[in-house]
Amino acid sequence: MKTETPYKIHPDFKRLSSIRPPLDGKTIPHIQRMMGLLYYQQRSDQYVRVERIRIPADAGNTVRALLYLPKEEKTSGCVLYCHGGGYAFPAAPYQYRLARLYAQRVGCRVLFPDYRLAPKHPFPAAPEDCFAAYRRLLDESGNAPVVVCGDSAGGTLAMAVTLMSIDRDLPVPCGQLLTYPAVGNCGETESIRRYTDTPMCNTKDMNTYGEWYVQDETAGKLAYRSPIEAESFAGIPTTYIETAEFDCLRDGAVLYAEKLRENGISVELHNTEGTVHGYDMMLKSGIVQDLIEKRIAFLNRVFLIH
C-alpha cells in the first residue's frame, strides 16, 4: 500500500514508504511470538560477546535481557538500550544490530531489555522492566556512568527511566540518546495534524498504540508515559535527539528539546530531512551512517567527562 500523500522521501528510505505496521489486536500476539524468536538468534562474534540474563522486576516478574560486552572495552560507561515498537512489537533486527554496534564502536557495555509488551501488559509494565534493567546496570558496573538510549517508544522508556531514577533516589543517567522519540502528550502540533498517513508511523497508528498501552488512566505516574508533562525537569542530563521529517512525533521531540533548554539542560538536536520514522532500518544509508557517527561521538563525549 502506498501513502495517500506524495511525500518527498529521500531515495535512501523509499523502501520504507509502503510499510504500515499490522495494527490488529487479533494478530499482534502471533507477531509478538514470531518476532520474539529474534532474541534467541543473537550470538557472540569476534568483537562483541552476547550474554542472556534474567533481571528481577516489580511484583515478582523477571525481565530477560541481552548484555553486549565488547571484546575491547574502551570505557567504564554503559548504555541501556530501550527498543521501540509502539510498546507492542518486540525488537527488530536493526535494533539488535545497533546495540551491538554501540558496544563495539564505543567500547561500552550495552544492556538490551526485552520488556513486557502491550496490549497484554499495559503501562506501567514496560518502564518498570526497563528501570529494573537500569538498576542491574548500576549494581554490576560499580555505578559507572550510564546513558539511556531509545528509539520511538523506546525513547519514552529511556526518558521514563531517567525520571524514575530521580524520583527513586538512584544515580541519574549521565545522558539521554533519543531517536525520533515519542515524548508524550504535547497537544495537537503541526506534525500531529499533518502526518496522518505517513509510512512506518502516523497519528492514527499512535492512537492505536496509545489505546493498547494505556488501559487505565490512573495506573502509574503520568510523567513515566508522557515525559514532556513532567512536573519538573530538574536533574535531567545532557540529551541528544534526532527527529524524522515526515513523522507525526517530530514536533513533540522539538518541544521537549526546547523545554530542556529552558531549564538549562544541554541539548543536541538533529532535525533530519527526507526521512520517515524508523529510518534506522536502512543502516547502509549514508544519512543514517552519518547520524550513527554523531551518536557515537555523543556517547564518547559524555563518558569522557564522567
> Which among 278, 257, 261, 260 is positioned nearest to 269, based on CA atoms?
257
Work out the mean pLDDT of the chain and round it to a whole number: 95
Rounded to an integer, the average pLDDT of 98-115 is 98
pLDDT of residue 264: 98
| First and final C-alpha spacing in the chain | 48
CA dihedral 198, 201, 207, 211 (to 10 degrees): 160
Spatial contact of 80 and 133, defined as CB atoms under 8 Å apart: yes
Report yes or no on 226 lying in a domain: yes
Sequence-separated (6 or more) residues with CB below 8 Å from residue 206:
86, 182, 248, 249
Confidence of residue 142 (pLDDT cuts 50, 70, 90): confident
Phi first, then psi, for residue 42 (nearest 5°) are -80, 125
Provide the b/e sequence for 170-198 (b: ≥16 CB within 10 Å).
Answer: eebbbbbbbbbbbbbebeebebbebbebb
Residue with grid cell 521531540, as numbered in its chain: 253
Domain of 127, CATH number, reads: 3.40.50.1820
Q: Is 39 exposed, middle or buried, given 0-12, 13-18 or 19+ CB atoms closer than 10 A?
A: middle
DSSP state of 231: S
**273 phi, psi to nearest 5 deg:** -120, 145
The answer to whether the beta carbons of residues 249 and 180 sit under 8 Å apart is yes
pLDDT at residue 22 above 90?
Answer: no
Q: What is the pLDDT of residues 161-207, one digit of tens each?
A: 999 999 999 999 999 999 999 999 998 999 999 999 999 999 999 99
The yes-or-no verdict on residue 132 having pLDDT over 70 is yes
> Residue 306's pLDDT is what?
82
Question: pLDDT tens-digit profile of 68-88?
Answer: 999 998 988 999 999 999 999
Query: Residue 277: beta bridge partners?
Result: none
Find out whether the peptide bond into 29 is cis, omega within 30 degrees of 0.
Answer: no
How does pLDDT run across 54-63, given as a tens digit for each residue?
999 988 889 9
Give the pLDDT score at 2: 47
Burial of 37 (0-12, 13-18, 19+ CB in 10 A): exposed
Question: Can you tell me the mean pLDDT for 279-299?
Answer: 98
Angle at 223 between CA 219 and CA 224, to 5 degrees: 65
Q: Does residue 6 fall inside a structural domain?
A: no
Flag whether 76 is in a domain: yes
Indicate whether 3 pLDDT > 50: no
Is 234 within a domain?
yes
Cβ-count burial 115-152 (b if 16+ within 10 Å, e if not)? bbbbbebbbbbbbbbbbbbbbbbbeebeebbbbbbbbb
pLDDT given for residue 4 in this prediction? 61
Give the chain's domain count. 1
> How far apart are alpha carbons 227 and 265 in whole angstroms?
15
CA–CA distance, 99 with 300 (Å, rounded to integer): 15
Strands 62-70 and 78-82: unpaired
Of 173, 172, 154, nearest to 213 (Cα)?
154
Statement: residue 34 has pLDDT above 70: yes
pLDDT at site 143:
76
At 141, the pLDDT band (50, 70, 90 cuts) reads confident
CA angle, residues 248, 251, 252, in degrees to nearest 5: 90
Mean pLDDT to the nearest integer, 106-115: 98
For residue 110, name the pLDDT band (cuts at 50, 70, 90): very high
Q: Kindly state the percentage of the chain with pLDDT values over 70.
A: 99
The parent domain of residue 199 ranges over 11-305
Mean local confidence (pLDDT), 236-259: 98
Q: Is residue 5 part of a domain?
A: no
Contact 223, 163 (CB under 8 A): yes
